[in-house]
Chain A
Amino acid sequence: MTTLPIEERIVHMIAQLTPVRPAEIQMQHRLREDLGLDSVCSMELLSMLAEQMDLDVPIEEAMGITTVGEAVAMARRHLAARGA
């Protein structure tokens, strides 16, 4: 899974937390309203993302993420910042 693009990795993580099938998950989907992740599950998702990609994500930043695309952008930002 670690060789997959970031988008696919996040989609797989979301699929572990919701009954939504990976093929149905789109970048513009809102974590809460469209995918049914409550605030606790959303934070679990971002925590899972940080652990799997070894990112140091401030909780303040994670709290501001509302869509799948924003989570992808956040991951890219942190990977770029550490020169990955």
Chain B
Amino acid sequence: MSALVLGAGGFLGLNLVDALIAAGEAPRCGRRRRSNVLALRQRRAALVPADLDIPEELAAAMTGCATVFHAAGHYPRLSRDRQRTMQTGLAQLGNVLDAAAGAGVRRLIYVSSTATVAPAPGRPSDERDVFAAAPGLGVYHDLKWAMESLALAEDRIEVIVACPGACLGPHDLRLGTSAVLVALARGLDPPHPDGVINPVDVRDVATALLRLAEHASPPRRVLLAAGNLRLHELLVALARRYGVAPPSRPLEDAEAVSLADAEEARAEAGGRRPSLSREIVDLVIHGVPLDAGLAARALGMRWRPLTETLDAADGWARRMRLIPERPFTQAAEP
């Protein structure tokens, strides 16, 4: 497989590069000028310029590639500017699709989000459940829905859409989903909403993407999640694991939205990163239980248990000095 990984230096990207290397592949790793490529250099990976805003770079990076993994879809750090966010996300994805079509790429695996999964009354949602129109649940949901719609409308090349749940595991350098784990381990009590989340080991997501690339006739859209639980339930389990005080009660939905909006306004004005971001609130309060059985049936996926995922995330975070080196009491976890 001659493959290009867009977003190779990111959380999922690094795990995907590791999975490809373990499978005997030598992927090209797309990078922007200012990407942190320390981990990729350590892997002796082939780095190629692939800025999503520069079509010529994308075209050159994809030349000769049969497969492109797109794990660099626009992730707005703040949900403050809807128009700009939508323009950026759609323009970048358009550039990727145009370059892939021009380069004769055989298959593009597009990493979307469970934000695109619509609720299904009376049952867990599965691949059939897509919002018929922009969900209107927040900027992040609308962006991911619009981008996935654009990807699925592509008819020049084969596009496969993967929707991973809340990824946990090693290499979350920007502290996305792992932020809750690190906060609890430090004895903090992060303000949080409550709702259904769909945790999944990032290494399993990488394996699933690899299998989607290799499959003779893969499903067009596949959900990747190891299970369903409530965020507060996970935080309580993490507090037990680290021997710290249990988290405070969850915020009401409206409280959480209001706090996140205020935090994002402060961050936009030049403050530090918001303590609670709007897209996390929206993902949690609108989260739905998922049935990821298709990934098991079509790709042979067997999801790691959550305890194994948390152990891996914890070990990595300790090596990175993100959480203090001290013993913790491991107790029963969901």
- Chain A residues with a Cβ under 8 A of chain B: 17, 38-40, 43-44, 46-48, 50-51, 56-60, 62-64
Contact = CB atoms under 8 A, between A and B. Distances in A.
A59 B35 contact: no
Contact of A51 (B39, B41, B173, B174): B41
22 contacts: A17-B34, A39-B174, A40-B36, A43-B36, A44-B36, A46-B36, A46-B38, A47-B35, A47-B36, A50-B38, A50-B41, A51-B37, A51-B41, A56-B41, A57-B38, A57-B41, A58-B38, A58-B42, A59-B38, A59-B42, A59-B173, A64-B321
Contacts of B174: 39-40
A44 B319 contact: no
Contacts, number: 44
B320 interface: yes
B293 to A, nearest CB: 36
Is the contact region of chain B dominated by helix, strand, or loop, or is it mixed? loop
Contacts of A62: 38
Interface of B: 34-39, 41-42, 173-175, 272-273, 319-322
A59 B273 CA distance: 22
A17 B320 CA distance: 23
A48 B9 CA distance: 14
B37 A47 contact: yes
Nearest to B273: A38
Given A40-B174, A43-B173, A58-B42, A63 B321 contact: yes
A47 B41 CA distance: 9
A43 B173 CA distance: 9
A84 B173 CA distance: 30
B199 to A, nearest CB: 24
Contacts of A38: 272-273
Contacts of A17: 34
A59 B34 contact: no
Contacts of A46: 36, 38
A56 to B, nearest CB: 7
B241 to A, nearest CB: 22
Nearest to A48: B34
Contacts of A57: 38, 41
